[in-house]
Amino acid sequence: MHIRLCVLFLLMPFSLAASQASICTSIDLRSLESLVLDTAQVRIEATVALTGEFSLSIPVSLVAERRRGAVQCWETGLFLQYHPLSYDLFLSLSLMQVALLANHPYEEGPQFLFLNEMAVGWQFSVPPSIVIKPCLVIKDPHKVFVQEYEELGALFSQFPMVRFALLVGWKFPVPSSKKAEQ
C-alpha cells in the first residue's frame, strides 16, 4: 500500500502538467569509457518536462567493478531540473537519491545508502527530437553524506566525486488528455 501511494505521489506532477509535458530518455555516452577501465559506470535517465522552467528526472546508474562477483552499486532517485527563465542552461538537484550495494565484501546481503548529487549543464536540441546534454555532476556538494561516499570510494577502483557526463537521447511529446476529449 505504501509503495502504491508513493508511486501515485511521484506521478501526480506529471499528470498536472500533461498539456505541456514531454518525455526525454537518454543514455550517458561517457559510459563507453567503461569498456577500457576497471570500473564500469553506466547511466540512463528519463526526464519529464513539466513547464519551460522545471522538469523531473529519474536516473538509473550502475557502478561495478568488471570482475566476476565484484561489488555493484545501483543508484536511482528523483531529481528536479531547473532551467532559469526557460533557458537551455539547467541546474539539477536530487530530491531523493538511494543506492543499493550488492556483493559487498564486508556485509552480508544488500546494503542501502542515501546519497546526494547536483549537476550543472546545457541542453541542446537537434531537430527533430534529439537532445544532447553535457553536464558536470558533483556528488555530495554539501558534504552531508561523507561517510557513504568514502565507503563507495574505498569499494571501487575509480569513483570520482566530480564527473563530466554527456547524455544523448530522444525527446517526444506526451499526448494531452484535454485534446482527446475534444
Domain assignment of residue 16, yes or no: no
Distance separating alpha carbons of residues 96 and 127, to the nearest angstrom:
32
Distance separating alpha carbons of residues 58 and 15, to the nearest angstrom:
16
pLDDT in the model for residue 106: 79
pLDDT in the model for residue 170: 96
Domain at 136, CATH number: 2.40.160.20
pTM, two decimal places: 0.81
pLDDT in tens, the chain (182 residues): 444 444 445 555 545 444 568 899 999 999 998 888 889 999 999 999 988 899 999 999 999 988 877 889 999 999 999 999 888 999 999 999 999 999 887 778 788 999 999 999 999 999 889 999 999 999 999 999 999 999 999 999 889 999 999 999 999 988 764 554 45
pLDDT in the model for residue 176: 66
- Whole-angstrom CA distances from 36 to 1, 27, 66, 137, 153 are 44, 18, 10, 21, 19
Query: In terms of residue numbers, what domain contains 28?
Result: 22-172
Domain assignment of residue 71, yes or no: yes
User: Collapsing DSSP states into helix, strand and coil, what is residue 122?
Assistant: strand
Q: Work out the angle at residue 148's Cα, subtended by the Cα atoms of residues 95 and 142, and round it to the nearest 5 degrees.
A: 50
pLDDT in the model for residue 10: 52
Domain assignment of residue 14, yes or no: no
Domain assignment of residue 49, yes or no: yes
State the cell numbers at 85: 527563465
Distance separating alpha carbons of residues 15 and 73, to the nearest angstrom:
31
Tell me if the bond preceding 128 is cis, omega within 30° of 0: yes
State the cell numbers at 33: 569509457
Listed residue (49, 82, 16) closest to 173, CA to CA? 49
State the cell numbers at 23: 518525455
Domain assignment of residue 13, yes or no: no
Q: How many structural domains comprise the chain?
A: 1
State the cell numbers at 163: 564527473
User: Collapsing DSSP states into helix, strand and coil, what is residue 22?
Assistant: strand
Please return the burial class of 126, using the count of CB atoms within 10 Å of its CB with bins 0-12, 13-18 and 19+.
exposed
Cα 112 to the center of its chain, rounded Å: 17
Domain assignment of residue 159, yes or no: yes
pLDDT in the model for residue 42: 94
pLDDT in the model for residue 162: 96
Domain assignment of residue 178, yes or no: no
Q: Calculate the dihedral angle through the C-alpha atoms of 98, 102, 107, 112, rounding to the nearest 10 degrees.
A: 10
